[in-house]
Structure 1
Amino acid sequence: MAAWEHLLPRRRWFLLSSLLLAAAAAAPVVHGYGGGGGLTVGFYKESCPQAEAIVREGGAAAGHDDPTTTAPLLRLHFHDCFVRGCEASVLINSTKTNTAEKDAKPNHTLDAFGVIDAAKEKLERKCPAVVSCADILAIAARDAVSLATKAVRQGRWSKDGNLYEVETGRRDGRVSSAKEAVTYLPDSFDGIRRLITRFASKGLSLKDLAVLSGAHALGNTHCPSIAKRLRNFTAHQNTDPTLDASYAAALRRRCRSARDNTTQLEMVPGSSTTFDAAYYRLVAERRGMFHSDEALLRNDVTRGLVHQYMASEEAFLRDFGASMVNMGRVGVLTGGQGEIRRRCAIVN
């Protein structure tokens, strides 16, 4: 069934969407659910002055060796924050008695764990038990998208080359559940109603949904992720009708098997390592890779933002930074909560 077939009647759904947006805009800024605040820009200024520079150095080196590294670093932060909040539970290894988030099916394609581990190792030598793995994830995501942004490379943003300033002061969680990852992570086949519900449950608005979807400007996917859109979409339609027919045909020629994990598909053909607003043009043309991309056209607010960002890349980059800060506040542990892991993959 196509995404919009699940929607409420148009008038009622538009009213619900408008109320959600208004509520999110009016809500006080909070640092997660029960975190009690504590996040600030420059949290490690006194305790570990080189913290952000050490993380950035490692990310930049990885990006120089392999430009596709930026997307996985950004994605790690997303997948962390949507399950238990931004407390680095996505980094914890499974044990004999517990299957952790990183081993949940939606996380099987996560990568760049080694970049985070290497940064943590350096930070432990420099500032033992000070910098959390959760903050490393947030810093690395900011640096990855900054390095991939043409505007930053051209010096049109802050003097130190950051697309936005990242708040720090998070502490690490001690629990990681694969079942929770399956339950809470947004799915590439989600329709607009489901996406709005997922984002609202994290205190994120319709604008945050539209803006953060722009992260799909970076990276690649593989055939199994879109196989259902191309073949056997429903009992009555072979191809997802929300996908441009000519683009679907081109993708079918590349993905001849639903189990092809070798063929790489650029999320934005020709610029998958450059962070810009090109993604929104593809969405408007019904050439977004995922069903959840096209879903942005099924709501008046998110559709309007798609067209706004098509017209102004500068507006998108500015708003992306603001929405990343919003997401980075979800469910944080601060103060005496949680712990500072000595190794990101293992609780203390």
Structure 2
Amino acid sequence: MAVLFLALLLLVAQAATTSSSLQLHFYSNSCPRAEIIVRQVVQSHFQRDPSVTSGLLRLFFHDCFIRGCDASVLIDSTDDNIAEKEAPPNLTLRTFDVIDDIKAAVEKECTGVVSCADILALATRDGVALAGGAAYDLPTGRRDGLVSRMGDVIIPSPLFSVEKALAAFKKINLDLVDLTTLLGAHSTGLCHCGFFLERLYNFKNSGLPDPTMNPTLLKTLQNKCPPHLVTIQNITDDIALSMNQVATTPFLLDNSFYRALLNNKVVLQLDQELAYTDMTNKLAVKYLNDPEVFRQQFAKSMIKLGNVGVLMGGEGEIRVDCRRINGAATSSLRAKLGAKN
């Protein structure tokens, strides 16, 4: 009886958060301190490890790119399903612990109210602000997805051309400005050697390094990343280097990526190719000359990314545990009560 009562409370709380669209301060009535709690937990992690921001950014991007921003990337595999996080492009994702800590803290405050999808979106927003980016307002009200399959994961590769990457971005309603701007996140964080090893030794199967890479950077990276390293498909034990080889503050989210880009000093092939198409080159110059323009456009592109394929209203669910879809017993009770979940 007690279990049934608790489950009923959960359903009532979820029904109270149902909405037909994302909105600012969605939880102002149902869980007023939700965004404060998210910010506090992210700040605590950031103070111990400033690379948290880049980890959250990558986690958020990889989530939104597959079926939209529904927190499906957070789900663990089960005996009968291999989840998204097991796909090769996702093996080096991290900061799952940050999301777990936030969810635990929010659940203590408001049981079954705040979605994991919103937690991931808010945590990434707060990480951006802590790393020097703009503190943008973020609409909330996302619901959590019910599907996470390894076979569905197709993420733009760092080996893509700008044209091929843009085609992938267009599929989720992002454009060339968003692509050029969001890659600016590579001003911060770490990158495994396996993601750019081909540029160092066998660029486009030539048997030679990428001729566009700055010679000094090439030598530095070759010293740190020997040619026998594992490939991009199996890099969990690979060496990780600073993504931004020109910055004195490698964990600051700023416009330094574009300085590196225009001087042929970025590590990823896709990043470097931004220098060689007309519009992306012009944007890089613009962002380098006016860091505030970059900060504001980065915020706009992040908000746009956060709107991709979101579940709302009666779609999906509010996961009790971000790593697991809610149990069959709870789903059955929802159906009996007629809750739109």
Normalising by structure 1, we get a TM-score of 0.83
In 1, the alpha carbon distance for the partners of 2:211 and 2:166 equals: 21
Partner residue of 2:178? 208
Secondary structure, aligned partner of 1:167: coil
Deviation at 1:99, TM superposition (A): 1.2
* 1:339 and 2:311 are equivalent in the alignment: no
The within-5 A match list for 1:218-233 is: 218-233=188-203
Pairing 1:251–2:234 present: no
Contact 2:103 2:321 in 1 (8 A): yes
Counterparts of 1:295 and 1:87, CA distance in 2 = 31
Superposition pairs of residues 94-113 of structure 1, within 5 angstroms: 94-113=77-96
For the residues of structure 2 that align with 1:137 and 1:343, how far apart are their CA atoms? 13
**Residue 263 of structure 1: how far off its partner (Å):** 3.5
- The alpha carbon displacement at 1:237 in A equals 4.0
Moved more, 237-246 or 335-344: 237-246
Inter-partner Cα distance in structure 1 for 2:35 and 2:156: 29
Question: After superposition, where does 1:264-275 map in structure 2 within 5 Å?
Answer: 264-269=240-245, 270-275=248-253
Structure 1 residue aligned with 2:49, among 66, 72, 97?
66
Q: What is residue 91 of structure 1 aligned with on the other side? A: 74
Residues 217, 276 of structure 1: 8 Å contact kept: yes
Find out whether 1:138 has 2:121 as its counterpart.
yes
The equivalent position to 1:305 in structure 2, one of 276, 280, 283, is 283
- Residues in 2 aligned to 1:286 and 1:191: alpha-carbon distance in whole angstroms: 16
Q: How many Å apart are 1:299 and its aligned residue?
A: 2.3
Matched residue type, 1:231: Y
**Count of paired positions:** 300
1:289 aligns with 2:267: yes
Q: Give the Cα–Cα distance (whole angstroms) in 1 for the partners of residues 144 and 83 of structure 2.
A: 15
Identity of aligned residues (%): 41
Which residue does 2:112 correspond to in 1? 129
The change in CA–CA distance for 1:341 and 1:187 in structure 2 (over 3 A counts) is: same
Give the aligned residue type for 1:265. Answer: L
- Mapped contact 2:199–2:269 kept (Cα < 8 A): yes
Structure 2 residue runs of 5 or longer lacking an equivalent are 1-18, 327-341
* Residues 138-157 of structure 1: pairs in structure 2 closer than 5 A: 138-149=121-132
Q: Is the 8 A contact 2:194 2:238 kept in 1?
A: no
How many Å separate the matches in 1 of 2:105 and 2:176?
38
**AA paired with 2:267?**
M
Q: Which runs of 4+ in 1 moved over 6 A?
A: none
**Is 1:42 matched up with 2:25?**
yes
SS in 2 for 1:41: coil
CA–CA distance in structure 1, aligned partners of residues 301 and 71 of structure 2: 19
Structure 2 partner of 1:178: 150
Q: Distance in 1 between matches of 2:125 and 2:53?
A: 10
What is the distance in 2 between the residues matched to 1:192 and 1:298?
A: 9
Residues 309 and 316, structure 1, Cα contact 8 Å, conserved in 2 = yes
What TM-score, normalized by structure 2, do the two folds share? Answer: 0.85
Check the 8 A contact 1:93/1:102 in 2, yes or no: yes
